[in-house]
Amino acid sequence: MAKRQLIFGIGVTIFLIFVFFIVTYSIITITKKRVPIFGDKVALVRIEGVILDSKKAIEQLKRYKEDKSVKAIVIRVDSPGGGVVPSQEIYEEIKKIKEKGEKKVVISMGAMAASGGYYISCPADKIVANPGSITGSIGVIMELANIEGLLEKIGVKSVVVKSGKHKDIGSVLRAMSAEEKEILQRVLDDVHNQFIEAVAKGRGIKEDVVRGIADGRIFTGKQAKELGLIDEIGNLEDTIKIAARISGIKGEPQVVTEERKPSFLELLLGNFLNQKIDPFKRHISFNYIFTY
């Protein structure tokens, strides 16, 4: 009998220790992710730096889209732009959330939300920027080098074997022909038109009005408000309160966000890697510096 009670006592102790560790781990996990346990929430998604990949942003947006406790999503954009396709993919995901109609999506512009950074902001329910935020830059750019002269000086000659007349279009090893420039110009013009259409639809502005300012120029947040490119002037805290208000949250909103842990290389080299790690992805881009 005493032995059975001892075994039972040990079992209960092990069970309580197990429960303690589970509860402790859950609390630590929730704290690290800054996830409030109860009440309606505003989710905060950060899109920072050059937009080269849409995967992480879309994963977060989809997760919050399905979370019933999240009533609004605030997207903090602090980006000079980036690749055309990842910008378009994020744009489409934001549009899907808005069209579903269950949650409000509000953009908070940081120091810069230009070109691709502005593109992804267009379909949101509201856009809020600081008066000095740099935005706009509705344009597309392709950057290609020509090192033919340099190779000649050092005695290097390239040999290209191709099966299509324009297969090596944009090659850095030779000068571009007028015909090739025309081909690439048509590509960029088409992408530029896509950008203009996205702004017109997202912001409810006539396309010819957007076209009049879609020459790549940048605007301050104050100027952008006057042009109808944004809705309100305010900082991130203001944006969270706006998102809570328009989504029906009463009182101080609870904010859920995910902390992004930088990689070891990013810690060593900082934002340099973010901009330089894959230059081929930036050849056609929505970007203030490179650009789309």
The catalytic site residues sit at 115, 167
Concatenating the DSSP letter of every residue in 193-218 gives HHHHHHHHHHHT--HHHHHHH-SS-E
Exposure string (b/e) for 257-283, b if CB count within 10 Å is 16 or more?
bbeeeeeeebeeeeeebbbeeeeebbe
Nearest to 130 by CA among 247, 246, 237, 257: 237
Extract the runs of DSSP E, i.e. beta strands, from the chain: 41-48, 70-79, 81-83, 104-114, 126-129, 134-136, 141-142, 218-220, 232-233, 254-257, 284-287
Residues 68 and 238: beta-carbon distance below 8 Å: no
Residues 234, 130: Cα–Cα separation, whole Å: 5
Residues 279, 287: Cα–Cα separation, whole Å: 13
Residues 254, 242: Cα–Cα separation, whole Å: 13
Computed on alpha carbons and rounded to an integer, the radius of gyration of the chain in Å comes to 25
Residues 150, 140: Cα–Cα separation, whole Å: 28
Residues 77 and 275: beta-carbon distance below 8 Å: no
In sequence order, the 6+-apart residues with CB closer than 8 A to the CB of 224 are 129, 133, 135, 136, 230
